[in-house]
Amino acid sequence: MKMSHEVEERRLKMLIEQYVEVRKKRHDVVSMRQAAAAVLTVMKACPVSRSELDAMIAASAVAHGLGVAFDAQQSPSQFSLSR
């Protein structure tokens, strides 16, 4: 089972890299919302959490010299209000 998870994570990294490579040819910014939607369309059973996916996308974009638009929608449960 662990081997399968590692293979899926490797596949995810390759998919993100491919998305960013294509994106950088025409744009200088990667939208987190659009990138995550594209990745999740291809990889329905994502092996990482949404926050980990966002971090992977942002890291790849920055490594390729692109800006990052943090425009992903968050559900109300992801917000924490401290009083």
H-helix segments, the chain: 2-24, 32-42, 50-63
- pTM score, two decimals? 0.81
**What ranges do the domains of the chain cover?**
2-69
Residue-wise pLDDT tens digits, 10-46: 999 999 999 999 999 999 999 999 999 999 999 999 9
**Which pLDDT does position 25 carry in this prediction?**
92
- Rounded to an integer, what distance in angstroms lies between the CA atom of residue 31 and that of residue 69? 5
